[in-house]
């Protein structure tokens, strides 16, 4: 059990010098970003000499900030949020199944508005997945990839039935967390790109929203421009810079990510991004290049997203409700474990808990 008194005493003894130093570094970083946005010649030199950097999409200029258009009348649009959850395998309780749950929340804003919520569970035998990927233990990235596929498939189904609806996924469209094993990465990227291609073929408007992102593309851009050789910029994220520069209801230009992160995506499918201030946080919106090619559509999507954030106290309402449909609560976890145990026992199978798990159960009792 943690000693709260000792923790409080240790905190009081800490110096605030490091915090003051961080504030100074942050001010310097923000000043360099401002200077970069105003220095068009410097931008040309930077982007022409550094081909491994994030850069503005298409012919867009690097701008520090721009206002997001808002609905000047009661909103009239359709939007669907999709999110997923899972029960990761527990090595102390070796159940032979993986559970993924995908939630959907659809909102239609009209003279007569309506909503619909749903959740869809997916159950997989672990042996089948292990045989497919060639590994006995399923890591979190592999399970996340499977969940991502199910989310994209649900987006395709919903978008096909509701062609006017925007499909908003929770999280990035850039799958940077893919497995480290080259053969697995190639396999999953091919499957994911085929799903993104299907969204493109059916012209289903879609995007990904990341709440309070930890990405550092613009920090790197600013560091390269300012020729900052020290390591302290690593302390900051793009969200830090944008929280200083963006006012509520404003966004940045759209950017094309670093080539190393998008080389597996065919041109029209390449996810591009912008940052926006929702009023309570900095969010990151990602849209594929084929949508950005239509400025009217991309601007409308940004307006719809901001409207959702205003309705959801700074976070898209459709994603908040999709999360509620997707989340697997502790009571659900207990139900699933008991269900599987009873199923296996009815077929004469025995469940073995590790001694550590037994100790936790006994202590709880």
Q: Write the pLDDT tens digit of every residue in 66-111.
A: 999 998 878 899 999 999 999 887 766 667 888 999 999 999 999 8
Question: 3-state class of 223 per DSSP?
Answer: helix
pLDDT for 337: 87
Q: What pTM value is reported for the model?
A: 0.89
Residue 355, pLDDT > 80, answer: no
pLDDT for 360: 53
For residue 274, the surrounding DSSP H or E stretch is strand 271-277
Q: Write the pLDDT tens digit of every residue in 245-283.
A: 999 999 999 999 988 888 889 999 999 999 999 999 999
Model confidence at 356, pLDDT cuts 50, 70, 90, reads low
Q: Write the pLDDT tens digit of every residue in 187-222.
A: 788 889 999 999 999 999 999 999 999 999 999 999
Name the more confident of 178 and 146: 146
Model confidence at 1, pLDDT cuts 50, 70, 90, reads confident
Residue 288, pLDDT > 60, answer: yes
**How confident is the prediction for the chain on average, in pLDDT?**
88
Q: How far is CA 201 from CA 173, 194, 269, 299, 348, in A?
A: 17, 10, 11, 21, 48
Residue 352, pLDDT > 80, answer: no
Residue partners of 221: CB distance under 8 A and separation at least 6: 36, 46, 53, 54
For residue 128, the surrounding DSSP H or E stretch is helix 126-133
Instruction: Say how many Å lie between the first and final Cα of the chain, rounded.
Output: 18
Domains delineated in the chain: 66-326 (3.30.420), 330-364 (no CATH)
Residue 349, pLDDT > 90, answer: no
Most trustworthy range by pLDDT among 11-15, 33-37, 273-277: 273-277
Question: 3-state class of 179 per DSSP?
Answer: coil
Kindly state the average pLDDT of the residues 129-141.
68
């Amino acid at each position: 059990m943690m000693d709260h008194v000792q923790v409080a005493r240790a905190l009081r003894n800490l110096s605030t010098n490091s915090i003051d130093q961080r504030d100074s570094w942050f001010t310097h970083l923000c000043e360099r970003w401002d200077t970069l946005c105003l220095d068009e010649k410097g931008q040309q030199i930077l982007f022409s000499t550094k081909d491994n950097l994030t850069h503005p999409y298409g012919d867009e200029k690097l701008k520090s900030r721009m206002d997001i258009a808002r609905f000047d009348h009661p909103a009239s649009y359709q939007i669907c949020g999709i999110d997923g959850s899972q029960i990761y395998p527990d090595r102390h309780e070796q159940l032979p199944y993986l559970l993924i749950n995908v939630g959907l929340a659809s909102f239609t804003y009209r003279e007569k508005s309506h909503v619909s919520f749903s959740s869809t569970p997916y159950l997989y035998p672990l042996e089948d997945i292990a045989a497919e990927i060639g590994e006995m233990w399923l890591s979190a990235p592999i399970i996340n990839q499977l969940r991502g596929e199910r989310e994209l498939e649900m987006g395709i189904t919903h978008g096909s039935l509701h062609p006017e609806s925007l499909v908003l996924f929770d999280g990035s469209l850039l799958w940077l967390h893919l497995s480290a094993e080259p053969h697995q990465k190639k396999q999953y990227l091919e499957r994911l790109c085929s799903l993104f291609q299907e969204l493109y073929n059916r012209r289903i408007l879609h995007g990904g929203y990341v709440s309070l992102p930890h990405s550092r593309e613009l920090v790197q851009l600013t560091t390269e421009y300012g020729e900052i050789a020290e390591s302290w910029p690593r302390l900051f994220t793009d969200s830090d810079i944008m929280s200083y520069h963006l006012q509520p209801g404003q966004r940045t230009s759209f950017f094309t990510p670093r080539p190393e992160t998008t080389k597996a995506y065919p041109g029209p499918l390449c996810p591009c991004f912008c940052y926006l201030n929702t009023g309570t946080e900095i969010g990151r919106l990602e849209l594929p290049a084929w949508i950005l090619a239509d400025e009217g559509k991309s601007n409308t999507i940004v307006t719809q997203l901001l409207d959702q954030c205003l309705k959801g106290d700074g976070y898209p309402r459709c994603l908040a409700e999709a999360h509620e449909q997707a989340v697997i609560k502790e009571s659900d976890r207990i139900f699933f474990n008991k269900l599987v145990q009873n199923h296996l026992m009815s077929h004469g199978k025995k469940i073995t808990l590790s001694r550590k798990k037994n100790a936790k159960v006994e202590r709880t009792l």
